[in-house]
């Protein structure tokens, strides 16, 4: 899925920003840490948003910045010839913590039940694990499936903005609640897709 139609637009934004950071010698690792900070405060905003409704919009904006900086670190590393295994490792660790901060905060805030939330975060972490497990098995890192990380972030951003405008429930769940349900279902479908992909390429 990965919203391929948005890639040309994203590239036009990210490339000039990457050049700006390179010009001022900002390291890819620093940018990765900034993305984690954005995710942490997005999580806090989601958690307190049932009490302070305006925080839902702020959370969505912070997820946008988390996504932006997460995309930037790799581009900066490649353009400045500073890509390293250590940086790649840091990026993946930060991505997982970011997923946990954002998704767990949404269901901790009560937008979805803890059962649905646990199903969502387990699916998210499992899909990420399978992507890197393919690489560990010398199959190359695999990002296929209907719900990759970029897709999840776009779903959360749209849901946060929509929820800030229309916070009422729809068939028992708010828009953010439905986003968690969507992520829970599609992440496990993606995990199964990745399992079959890897399994079919092993001896």
Kindly report the backbone phi and psi dihedral angles of residue 78, in degrees, each rounded to the nearest multiple of 5, phi listed first. -70, -45
Tokens matching residue 119:
């199903």
Give 173's strand partners.
Answer: 170
pLDDT bin (cut points 50, 70, 90) of residue 13 is confident
4-200 folds as 1.20.120
Distance of CA 71 to the CA centre of its chain: 10
Domain boundaries, the chain: 4-200
Q: What is the pTM of this model?
A: 0.93
Give per-residue pLDDT as tens, 66-107: 999 999 999 999 999 999 999 999 999 999 999 999 999 999
The Cα–Cα gap between 21 and 77 comes to 11
The mean pLDDT value for 118-139 works out to 94
pLDDT bin (cut points 50, 70, 90) of residue 4 is low
């Amino acid at each position: 899925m990965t919203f391929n139609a948005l890639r040309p637009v994203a590239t036009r934004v990210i490339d000039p920003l990457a050049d700006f950071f390179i010009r001022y010698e900002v390291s890819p690792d620093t940018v990765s840490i900034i993305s984690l900070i954005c995710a942490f405060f997005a999580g806090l905003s989601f958690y307190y948003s049932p009490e302070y409704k305006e925080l839902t919009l702020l959370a969505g904006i912070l997820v946008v910045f988390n996504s932006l900086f997460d995309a930037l670190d790799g581009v900066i590393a490649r353009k400045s010839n500073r890509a390293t295994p250590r940086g790649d490792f840091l990026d993946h660790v930060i991505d997982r913590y970011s997923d946990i901060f954002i998704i767990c905060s949404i269901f901790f805030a009560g937008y979805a039940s803890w059962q649905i939330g646990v199903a969502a975060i387990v699916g998210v972490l499992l899909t990420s694990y399978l992507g890197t497990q393919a690489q560990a098995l010398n199959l190359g890192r695999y990002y296929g499936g209907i719900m990759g990380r970029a897709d999840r972030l776009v779903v959360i951003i749209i849901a946060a903005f929509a929820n800030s405008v229309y916070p009422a429930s729809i068939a028992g769940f708010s828009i953010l609640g439905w986003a968690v349900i969507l992520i829970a279902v599609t992440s496990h479908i993606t995990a199964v897709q990745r399992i079959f992909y890897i399994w079919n390429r092993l001896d």
